[in-house]
Amino acid sequence: MGDTEMSDFDLGDPFLYLQALFENEIELEEVPAPMPSVEIPAEILATETVSTDVQKPDPKPQKRFKRVSDEEIIALKDSRQSESTKRNTKWAVNILQEWSSEVMVNQVDLATVSSEDLNIILGKFYAEATPKFAEKREQEMASAQAYEYHKNSFKSIRAGINRFLRDLNRDIDIVRDKEFRMSNDILDGKLKYNMKSGLSRPTKHKEVISQSDLHKISTYLYSAGNPVLLRYRVWYNLALHFVSRGIDFHQQLNLASFTFQKDENDRKYVTLSHETRQKNWQGGLGNSEASADKRMYKTKSDKCPVNDLQLLIDPKAESLFNHCDKDANLSPDEQNIWFSMKSVKQYQFSRFMGDISRNAGCSRLYTAHCLRATAIQAMNDAGFELRHIMYMSGHKNESSVRSYNRGCSIIQKESLSETLSSISSGYDVSAPKSTPAPVLTVSTAESASVTSNVTSVPSPLQTSSENAQVNNRTMPMSLSSNNFMSSGFISNSAFNNCVFQFSGQN
């Protein structure tokens, strides 16, 4: 600032200060002008604060429902059928179209053909349908049978065509609608004619594993404690205890699929923590609830399936069943690393039972489905009721489970044949046999009344009369031994307030 004295001016008043500057031509340097002070009331300072943050707009509310594309909707519709069902549908339609191309020159337009015309076409198709590669089939069966479809194949073809029509949104049912009664009558007549003519082949069920082969399998699976055999043991035990087909079932299992619990008797068991899809349990609107709370109990033996499962579950792994290392497969006891991080695929599970059969030295190579048939037959031979077997197998009707139940074990069939041979040889089949027969003792409470009206199924091993004591009274009664023979005395009789004690007697 210059030499001019500014003490006569009141610098607190900015207007006077500016006036002095212009009158005296004072050179202005950087002199900050004092700002007038403004007093803010205390009550405002106590209640309000000034924010310098920029106000952000409110975020958009999250939407509750997800958006699905048209492609995803089509995929959901297609997922209602399994891949095997889709293949069966394609196979059935191809047979019909191949026949129509040969016989009718043009293929049938299933999207537009009328019910009346389709009924006539199907009737002629059922009568003339012939298997492909019939010459090759002659190596496995009689020549005449090789040129005829099995009855179950015809049913599958008809069901596949029916599914295809439904996929086309056609409101017709070639199985149940009365408009197709004629074609179904032709199919029914053809099947009956084939049976009368000796052209109908019996249904070939999955084979039940023989007792000797079951022993070989058990010996092999528990021959060593290495993880390679452990994986086979867990797969084998899960297939048996949950009565699965061993392919679709195992693919759906993961490390969190099992719940370890104890029952009211403090016995440990394992059950599944989620539902699993199988051939006869696909889920959806049409299915009822699958059997829940199937249990695999811990045993006191060194072959405990629950202990093996706990050993296989590794928290560090990503899946329950992983690929074996190639070197570990060749020499499992000499390797430190047995499994890779790659999980076993669905089709690869189908090889497990074949590998086990081969390594155990079985009489034949069994499939995973043979385990299911073996489990159902074992429960039947043990005397379990059909509803209990259906609970374990997941069957929804009795006719389906009976296709697995052979009715008689090998010992039963052998004994039946020996009994019939005795008739042809002139022997008295009612004569007592040397086989020990059980003695039945029935004891009741003194105040209880017992109605003794007992009917039992006679056994070839023992048909003689035994004595049963009921409240110190002797009553003749025909008993049958349940020595792997028939359902026997217990399963075919009704009792009230009875206690049974059995003992052997020559």
| CATH code for the domain of 272 | 1.10.443.10
Say how far apart CA 154 and CA 148 lie, in whole Å: 10
What pLDDT does 203 receive?
Answer: 81
Is residue 175 in a domain?
Answer: yes
Q: Which amino acid is at 482?
A: N
Of 167 and 285, the one with more pLDDT: 167
Query: What's the pLDDT score for residue 451?
Result: 36
Taking each helix axis from N to C terminus, what angle separates 151-167 and 115-128, rounded to the nearest 10 degrees? 150
Structure tokens at 320: 């329950």
Amino acid at 28: L
Q: Is residue 319 part of a domain?
A: yes
Tell me, what's the pLDDT at 21? Answer: 57
pLDDT at 296: 92
Give the model's confidence band at 465: pLDDT under 50 very low, under 70 low, under 90 confident, else very high.
very low
Is pLDDT of 288 > 50?
Answer: yes
| 115-128 helix and 181-196 helix, angle to the nearest 10 degrees | 10
Given the DSSP bridges, would you call strands 473-478 and 499-505 parallel, antiparallel or unpaired? Answer: unpaired
Residue 478 lies in a domain: yes
- Does 364 map to a domain? yes
> Does residue 184 sit in the same domain as residue 231?
no
Q: Give per-residue pLDDT as tens, 125-168.
A: 999 999 988 888 888 888 888 889 999 999 999 999 999 999 99
Give the residue among 218, 122, 102, 211 at the shortest CA–CA distance from 165.
Answer: 122
Q: Are residues 475 and 373 in the same domain?
A: no
Higher per-residue confidence, 101 vs 482: 101
Residues 189 and 122 in one domain: yes
Q: How far apart are CA 115 and CA 126, in angstroms?
A: 16
The answer to whether residues 376 and 455 belong to one domain is no
In a domain, 8, yes or no: yes
Query: Average pLDDT over the chain, rounded to whole?
Result: 76
In the chain, what percentage of residues exceed pLDDT 90?
Answer: 30
For the chain, the straight-line distance linking the first and the last C-alpha, in angstroms and rounded, comes to: 140
Residue 238 and residue 156 share a domain: no
Q: Among the three residues 402, 417, 440, which one is the final residue of a domain in this structure?
A: 402
Cβ-in-10-Å burial (0-12, 13-18, 19+) of 23 comes to exposed
Does 96 lie in the same domain as 30? no
pLDDT at 456 exceeding the cut of 80: no
Verify that 304 and 385 share a domain, yes or no.
yes
Residue carrying the six token digits 């599944």: 272
Q: Are 371 and 240 in contact (CB under 8 A)?
A: yes
Distance CA 22, CA 340 (A): 93
Element (H, E) at 341: strand 339-343
**DSSP symbol at 442:** E
Please give the single-letter amino acid code of residue 236.
Y
Closest CA to 122 of 186, 204, 177: 186
DSSP 268-318: EEEEESS---BTTB--STT--PPP----EE--SSTT-HHHHHHHH--TT-S
Cα separation, 482 vs 93, in Å, equals: 50
Instruction: Check residue 162 and give its pLDDT.
Output: 96
pLDDT at 287 over 70: no
Structure confidence at residue 472 as a pLDDT band (50, 70, 90): very low
DSSP H helices, 104-206, are 115-128, 134-137, 143-146, 151-167, 181-196
Residues 266 and 348 in one domain: yes
Domain assignment of residue 416, yes or no: no
Residue 221 and residue 314 in one domain: yes
> Does the pLDDT value for residue 213 go beyond 70?
yes
Structural domain boundaries, residue 20: 1-46
Does one domain contain both 351 and 235?
Answer: yes
| Mean pLDDT lowest among 8-12, 130-134, 193-197, 344-348 | 8-12
Asked which of 150, 172, 196 is the last residue of a domain, the reply is 196
> Looking at the structure, do residues 383 and 470 belong to the same domain, yes or no?
no
Same domain for 171 and 226, yes or no, is no
Instruction: Indicate the residue among 196, 223, 243 that finishes a domain.
Output: 196
Q: For residue 204, is it within any domain?
A: no
Q: Answer yes or no: are the C-beta atoms of 238 and 250 closer than 8 Å.
A: yes
pTM above 0.75, yes or no: no
Q: What are phi and psi of 439, to 5 degrees?
A: -105, 130
Measured CA to CA, the distance from residue 321 to residue 309 in angstroms comes to 11
Which residues does 349 contact at the CB level (< 8 Å), separation at least 6? 235, 246, 247, 250, 251, 321, 368
In a domain, 65, yes or no: no
Identify the band that residue 24 occupies on the pLDDT scale cut at 50, 70 and 90. low
Query: How far is 461 from 275, CA to CA, in rounded Å?
Result: 45
Candidate ranges 19-23, 213-217, 329-333; pick with highest mean pLDDT: 213-217
Task: Name the residue among 365, 356, 369 with its Cα closest to residue 220.
Answer: 356
Q: pLDDT (tens digit, 9 = 90+) per residue, 337-379?
A: 777 778 888 788 888 999 999 999 999 999 888 988 899 888 8
Mean pLDDT computed over 409-417? 77
Indicate the pairing of strand 437-443 with strand 465-470. parallel
Taking the C-alpha atoms of residue 270 and residue 262, their distance in angstroms, rounded to an integer, is 8
Number of domains in the chain: 4
Mean pLDDT value across residues 184-188:
96
Between the alpha carbon of residue 413 and those of residues 3, 408, 425, 431, the distances in Å are 137, 6, 18, 20
CA 433 – CA 421 distance, rounded (Å): 15
Distance between CA atoms of 101 and 80, rounded to whole angstroms? 31
